[in-house]
Each structure stands twice: as structure tokens, then as C-alpha cells.
Amino acid sequence: MEQTIKKLKGHDQMLKNFIRIVIVLCTIGSACLLSKRSFVKYLPVTLFSSASVLAEILYFTVHKLWKVKGGPGSLICNTSILVLGPYFFGTLLSFQLSKGKLLKYALINIIADFIYAFPLIKLFKKLDFFKLKVNSIQFYVLIVTNAFLNFGFQKFYERVTLPEKTSD
């Protein structure tokens, strides 16, 4: 595996483009799993969440905690692909699969965030796709916290926008 990664690093730009294509294809595949009803119901929380993550990426970039090799163009490309791709549709899917139940939502996010924070981030670092200068545990705590913030936002949004049920 290590030799394969070293060989692939020699073809840096081609590898990054391949990763981008794989991410886009996986995103399209996950988008097909969404129902129209779930998309509409959970779009506000997904937009809120995506905006929060973009703000975090801006913070990480300004404070040099997140680095993308290749300059501003690569930074914008990778950010766009990750946030508008798997993050956006992953948020929608986690809400659809959990059906608004906290325990299901928590389990889905704890597992998915673990996979992202540990093996995937490590792989992205090895492939020079991007580098985080925070450790995986700190990053994991951040993204799990984001997930619970999103759940709270969704519950608040439902309470504010859905008409109250009256008992006559």
C-alpha cells in the first residue's frame, strides 16, 4: 500500500483529479438515495450546516490549521467538492435515515464522523489532498459537535415553522 501511494504521489495532479471525480460520483450515488420529501424537509438544516463548515474552513485556513497543496485554486476546488458534495448529501442522508430520532441520528453521525476523522483524513493526508494541523481526536470532537448542533437547529426550525397541533 505504501509503495502504491508513493508511486501515485509522483502523479500528484492526476491523483487529486481522480479523488475529486470519485468524490463527485459517490455524491451523485448518494443523492439518488434521497427522497424528494426529505430533501425539501432537511434542506434548511443542510444549508445552515454547510455554511457553518465553510466558516470553520475559513477559520482553519486563516490560522493555517488546514492546508491544501496547489494554492487558492486547489483550496477552493477541494473545499467546494467536499462541502457541496459528500458533506451536503451526507447531512441530508443522515437526517433521512434517522427520521428525526436523536438516538439514530447520534449513532449514524458518531460512526460516519469516526470513519471520516480517522481513516479518511489519514488517507487524504498521505495522498497530499489536504492536511489538517489538528489531531484526529480534536477534529472528531468538532464534527460530532457540528452534528448535534445541526440536530438542535433542525428541531428548532421544525418548532418555528410547523404549525402547532391543537387539541379540540
| pLDDT higher than threshold 70 for residue 93 | yes
Grid coordinates of 35: 427522497
Q: What pLDDT score was predicted for residue 91?
A: 94
Contacts of residue 40, defined as CB under 8 A and 6 or more positions apart, other chains included, come to none
Q: What pLDDT score was predicted for residue 8?
A: 54
Per residue in 107-154, pLDDT tens? 999 999 999 999 999 988 888 778 899 999 999 999 999 999 999 999
State the DSSP string of 97-130.
Answer: HHTT-HHHHHHHHHHHHHHIIIIIHHHHHHTTS-
Per residue in 25-83, pLDDT tens? 877 877 788 899 999 999 999 999 999 999 999 999 999 998 888 888 888 988 888 89
| 64 exposure class (CB count in 10 Å sphere: 0-12, 13-18, 19+) | exposed
Q: What pLDDT score was predicted for residue 59?
A: 95
Amino acid type, 43: L
Q: What pLDDT score was predicted for residue 125?
A: 86
Reported pTM: 0.82
- Band the pLDDT of 168: cuts 50, 70, 90: very low
| pLDDT higher than threshold 80 for residue 16 | no
